[in-house]
Structure 1
Amino acid sequence: MSAPLLSLYRKVTRWPAGHWLFSRAVCFKAPYFSTIAPRFVALEPNRCEVRIRDRRRVHNHIGTVHAIALCNLAELAAGVMTDASLPASMRWIPKGMTVEYLKKATGTLHGVATPDVPLVESASAYDLPVSVVVTDAAGDAVFRATIAMWVSPRR
């Protein structure tokens, strides 16, 4: 059985404008992420792809996409991937993030989140590192992050 979020994604994205609607629903649940106006491109177990457009509201003082907007993109993709991939008996919360800014981030950006280790059902809590790579329209990596997720059984 798939996670409720993954089931919702699969259902909603069959509709016209479904990706937009799913993206809006996620931002309704976690409103801060609406600041980057994300668009979910793909969601499956162990993989989430999210795009953001280069808009003035995500710019820094030099006209590139702000570092924190990139961090928001990474945390969003990692969180949704984790939520869509975990067994229903488990829960998660981010507990840390390590980032690398590789080059100026301009244009539409595409973030892909994947787990570094398998997500498993467990009677005890464990660390789950999730890698996120953000690329520009040319396919060049502009940003990399590892999100440390704390995964634990629901009590």
Structure 2
Amino acid sequence: MSTMSIDVGALLLETVPFAQTLGIVFDSVEDGRAVCRVPDRAELHNHVAGPHAGVLFTLAESASGAAVLSSLGDQLSRAVPLPTTATISYRKVAKGEVRAEARLLADRAEVLAELDAGKRPVFDVEVEITNADGVVVSELTVTWTLRPNS
């Protein structure tokens, strides 16, 4: 468990202006999990009147970053978290507000042990995006690393 005492959602919105542009709202961030959402706005729609694929991806990637920071953010003085790859599956056409729920799959102690050993830890975060009815519309796996500060 992290000893971080900052508001991770606020930090992400401050440091990632594009998340602000989309209007991402962080509902909860704690212990390797994060939930955020994007309200339904016509200017974010695609050709089928739902959130654009880029909106869904950015929402999910933002949730994954918040999950990482909630668990490992107290390590920022020695390493920077960076996404290395992401795979998204679009399952159904999304309509209305969408919600992303991210879950860190790595064990904090194992990640820190790798970092302590001078390695660059690599780990995954899974994200489900649901519509207002709770139906899964997309799934994303983001692979992250902690790059030691020089």
Shared fold per TM-score greater than 0.5: yes
Partners of 1:29 and 1:40 in 2: CA distance? 14
Corresponding residue SS for 1:8:
coil
Question: Which amino acid in the other structure matches residue 2 of structure 1?
Answer: T
Where in structure 2 are there 5+ consecutive unaligned residues? none
Cα root mean square deviation, aligned:
1.8
CA distance in 2, matches of 1:69, 1:76: 10
Where does the alignment leave 5 or more consecutive residues of structure 1 unmatched? 11-21
Matched, 1:107 2:71: no
Identify the residue that residue 34 of structure 2 maps to in structure 1.
Answer: 48
Pick from 116, 127, 135: which aligns with 1:132? 127
Amino acid at match of 1:9: D
TM-score, normalising length from structure 2? 0.84
The farther-off stretch of 83-92 and 94-103 is 83-92
1:26-63 per-residue CA deviation (whole Å, 9 max, x = no partner) reads 32321111222011100101100001111112111221
Identity of aligned residues (%): 28
CA distance in 2, matches of 1:39, 1:32: 12
Q: How many residues align?
A: 140
Q: Deviations over 1:98-139 (max 9, x none)?
A: 000010111111101111222321221121111010111111
Q: Is residue 79 of structure 1 aligned with residue 65 of structure 2?
A: yes
Structure with bigger RCO (C-alpha 8 Å, 6+ apart): 2
User: Which stretches of structure 1, 4 residues or more, deviate above 3 A after TM superposition?
Assistant: 152-155
Superposition TM-score, scaled by structure 1 size: 0.82
Paired with 2:16 and 2:80, the residues of 1 have a C-alpha distance of 16
